[in-house]
């Protein structure tokens, strides 16, 4: 039979509540170092595990977080979710995963269900600009963090990359290689990543003194399939582009497949740049030039921001942005090896 708190307390000559508070890493507990060491040794010896359900009822916590993502099949979100789990587990929290398929109504339904289940906090990777679901969370004053995408009302805790800079650097790389007709397989204008990376694409043209052709901007969404469809439209133009900046790596991979089907050589006939540097980007052939962002760290930082809110019972508006790095591979420079990037991701916080 599992050992009880009362039995442990008798063996350690302390009150059962002291055993419970040591087992649950209560930061407010003040006891002698020798007493704490004796209790911790006893917990290891007996393999005692605190009753999370009972503790949750007493503390009015479930010790459960939720992550709401738009596409469970996208490797980007798998890495992000792993980052959340890796940060949450050492602090005693489990994590639920909810998939929206990029649909606002599914996001709203998930958030309502999670509220009914009384999860302790939510990380949202599927938000939209001026998102009513995010507005509801803000009004309810419960713990939440937006990651990768933000709502543009500027009042929410957020973790992501500097997408405007990333879009500008990616496009400038193609301009530096001599391309003047550069297509953009764009994200949705209702999503911050799509809006800002498109602005970066346009900004690079302005800096270089090149007029951006609106016909070369095609909304592609965020999946390989949508990238394939958009690339077909782009490459069917009477004067197709010689280079493409895609809003994500998955979209870029879809575009590369269309180029191969049409007999185009990459990068000689069509250079391609993606965004995110998912693991697949270095494994496809030719390997994909892309903007690197620390996806796992997106998740772990978002989880820490969320857990700090839960434990302090204080909301935050902190916004953490990582600077993306250009990784040059074979899809833009034949025979290229990966460029060196900074050992630590550059980050700004507000």
Assigned domain for 55 exists: no
Sheet containing strand 182-186, edge to edge, reads 217-219, 182-186, 243-246, 271-276, 289-292, 325-327
Same structural domain for residues 69 and 175?
Answer: no
Give pLDDT, residue 56. 46
CATH number at residue 16: 1.10.260.40
Q: Are residues 275 and 306 in the same domain?
A: no
Report how far apart, in Å, the C-alpha atoms of 176 and of each of 49, 105, 230, 246 are: 59, 43, 25, 17
Neighbouring C-beta atoms of residue 59, cutoff 10 Å: 11
pLDDT < 50: residue spans in the chain: 53-59, 340-344
Q: What is the DSSP letter of 2?
A: P
Residues 65 and 130 in one domain: yes
CATH of the domain at 181: 3.40.50.2300
Q: What is the pLDDT of residue 70?
A: 94
Strand partners, 325: 292
Q: Is residue 142 part of a domain?
A: yes
Residue 24 lies in a domain: yes
- Output the CA–CA distances (angstroms, integers) from residue 163 to 197, 217, 240, in the order listed: 5, 17, 26
> How does DSSP classify residue 31?
-
* Residue 98 three-state SS: strand
Q: Does residue 174 share a domain with residue 83? A: no
The length of the chain is 350
- pLDDT on residue 92: 87
Residues 334 and 205 placed together within one structural domain of the fold: yes
Query: 77 is in which domain, residue-wise?
Result: 61-161+295-322
Q: Are residues 341 and 240 in the same domain?
A: yes
Q: Give the integer Cα–Cα distance in Å for 197 and 317.
A: 23
If asked whether residues 196 and 273 sit together in one domain, one would say yes
The answer to whether residues 40 and 172 belong to one domain is: no
Which residues, in sequence order, are CB contacts of 34 under 8 Å at separation 6+? Answer: none
Residues 13-58: tens digit of each pLDDT: 998 878 877 887 776 678 899 999 999 999 988 888 765 544 443 4
Strand partners, 147: 159
Asked if the structure places residue 178 within a domain, the reply is yes
Same domain, residue pair 315 and 284: no
Structure confidence at residue 335 (pLDDT): 80
| Residue 96 DSSP SS3 | strand
Q: What tens digit of pLDDT does each residue of 80-124 get?
A: 999 999 999 988 899 999 999 989 999 999 999 998 888 999 999
CA 126 to chain centre: 10
């Amino acid at each position: 039979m599992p050992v009880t708190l009362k039995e442990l307390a008798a063996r350690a000559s302390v009150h059962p509540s002291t055993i419970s508070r040591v087992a649950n890493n209560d930061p407010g507990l003040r006891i002698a170092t020798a007493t704490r060491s004796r209790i911790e040794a006893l917990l290891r010896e007996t393999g005692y595990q605190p009753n999370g359900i009972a503790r949750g009822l007493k503390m009015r916590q479930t010790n459960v977080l939720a992550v709401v993502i738009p596409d469970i099949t996208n490797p980007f979100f798998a890495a992000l979710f792993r980052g959340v789990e890796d940060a949450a587990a050492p602090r005693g929290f489990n994590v639920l995963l909810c998939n929206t398929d990029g649909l606002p109504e599914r996001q709203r339904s998930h958030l309502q269900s999670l509220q009914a289940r009384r999860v302790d906090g939510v990380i949202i990777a599927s938000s939209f600009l001026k998102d009513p679901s995010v507005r509801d969370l803000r009004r309810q004053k419960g713990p939440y963090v937006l990651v990768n995408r933000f709502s543009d009302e500027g009042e929410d805790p957020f973790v992501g990359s500097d997408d405007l800079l990333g879009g500008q650097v990616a496009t400038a790389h193609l301009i530096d290689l001599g391309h003047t007709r550069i297509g953009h397989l764009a994200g949705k204008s209702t999503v911050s990543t799509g809006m800002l990376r498109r602005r970066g694409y346009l900004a690079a043209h302005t800096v270089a003194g090149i007029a951006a052709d609106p016909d070369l901007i095609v909304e592609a969404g965020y999946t390989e399939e949508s990238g394939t469809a958009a690339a077909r439209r782009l490459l069917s133009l009477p004067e197709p582009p010689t280079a493409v900046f895609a809003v994500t790596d998955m979209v870029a991979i879809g575009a590369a497949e269309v180029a191969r089907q049409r007999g185009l050589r990459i990068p000689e006939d069509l250079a391609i740049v993606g965004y995110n540097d998912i693991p697949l980007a270095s494994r496809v052939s030719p390997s994909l030039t892309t903007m690197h962002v620390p996806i796992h760290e997106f998740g772990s930082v978002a989880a820490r921001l969320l857990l700090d809110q839960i434990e302090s019972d204080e909301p935050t508006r902190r916004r953490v942005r990582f600077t993306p790095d250009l990784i040059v591979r074979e899809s833009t420079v034949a025979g290229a090896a990966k460029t060196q990037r900074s050992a630590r991701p550059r980050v700004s916080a507000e």
